[in-house]
Amino acid sequence: MAVTINGREIAEDVVSKVKLFAAELIKDSGITPGIAVVIVGEDPASQVYVASKGRKARECGFHSEQHTLSAETSEEDLVALVEKLNADPQIHGILVQLPLPKHIDSGRIIQTISPDKDVDGFNFINVGKLGTGEIGTAFVPCTPTGVMLLIERINGRDLSGLNAVVIGRSNIVGKPIFNLLLAHNATVTIAHSKTQDLASICRTADILVAAVGRSQMVKADWVKPGATVIDVGVNRIPAPERGEGKTRLTGDVDFEGVSEVAGAITPVPGGVGPMTIAMLMVATLVAAYRSVGKNPPRF
Ligand code: NDP
């Protein structure tokens, strides 16, 4: 029976370390890590995410700002706000909540964020650094760094000799996870919707990461005995057993079946999800350390 990887507990552990390192930076340098979260429009899901990021930042002892702009805000006004935040010494991390309204070019906004404050890791400079293995000075998207931290807890930091398979090749999840696994010396295969015989490829994996968005597609007979299985997927499916019209969250992995075969597995919810926000706090802390020329702590 697989070990269930408790993402909530690991995320709490990360946040408690962030708090300590933030307090140390404030004491030694007089610098309080600062994060600005920008939200355009009233998408309810985005409002919830942004509020929880602000709460977590305050819990870490950070300076936290939320800029809420109307859905009619022009692209030029948003660019001007990002440029102002780029120049603000109190702010070390800038996060523009996506998706943006259709009349705004998200790509232009992301490229306007200073690479040194790009805690989401979407700016081309940071994408390029990750792609060329310059991880020490890059910002990397937070869900992938959270995934890596969970893998490290099971398989260690050096994945030499291990085969990893990532299902999903998106720019914000699959590809950065691929690059991180490679940087940690795993032998990595990335699969996607055009891959043939996915099950056989998955069976080669000592580390299997599913980042697709298809409920419970990874079955027990796709998994090598003892493998580490990380389920990034978040799917909402009907749950009539809970009452009429009720739903529940599932991952991309058939948790019950795969638990019988894998060595370690993340649940959904409570696995990768809580890590994302914790790693955003880490990225902001790292940005603040770098801003004063200090070596950031490792997590
Ligand atoms: P995308 O939709 O951008 O990418 C999905 C990927 O899955 C694509 O590369 C696609 O292939 C591939 N895919 C689709 N169908 C299949 C299939 N049948 N077989 C193999 N591969 C397939 O999603 P994201 O990367 O943004 O997110 C993936 C999942 O992770 C989602 O469920 C999302 O909700 C979740 N997520 C969770 C987060 C967390 O904090 N826990 C954070 C971010 C995302 P192709 O490229 O060929 O189309």
Query: Which candidate, 97, 140, 111, 67, places its Cα nearest to that of 287?
Result: 140
Residue nearest to atom 13 of ligand 1 (CA): 193
* Span from the CA of 284 to the centroid of ligand 1 (angstroms): 26
Domains of the chain: 30-115 (3.40.50.10860), 141-273 (3.40.50.720)
In the chain, what's the furthest Cα-to-Cα distance? 57
Q: What is the pLDDT of residue 126?
A: 98
Question: Residue 15 — very low, low, confident or very high, per pLDDT cuts 50/70/90?
Answer: very high
Active site residue 27: no
Q: Is the CB of 232 under 6 A from ligand 1?
A: yes
Cβ-based neighbours of 212, under 8 Å, separated by 6 or more: 167, 168, 233, 252
Query: Which residue among the candidates 116, 117, 118, 120 is catalytic per the annotation?
Result: 120
Q: What is the pLDDT of residue 153?
A: 97
Question: Residue 233 — very low, low, confident or very high, per pLDDT cuts 50/70/90?
Answer: very high
The answer to whether 251 and 245 have CB atoms below 8 angstroms apart is: no
Cβ-based neighbours of 197, under 8 Å, separated by 6 or more: none
Q: Is the CB of 272 under 6 A from ligand 1?
A: yes
Amino acid letter, 205: A
* Span from the CA of 241 to the centroid of ligand 1 (angstroms): 27
Query: Which residue among the candidates 56, 97, 118, 175 is catalytic per the annotation?
Result: 97
Give residue-wise pLDDT tens across range 64-123: 999 999 999 999 999 999 999 999 999 999 999 999 999 999 999 999 999 999 999 999
* Span from the CA of 192 to the centroid of ligand 1 (angstroms): 9
Give residue-wise pLDDT tens across range 161-206: 999 999 999 999 999 999 999 999 999 999 999 999 999 999 999 9
Handedness of CA 285, 291, 297, 299 (dihedral sign): positive
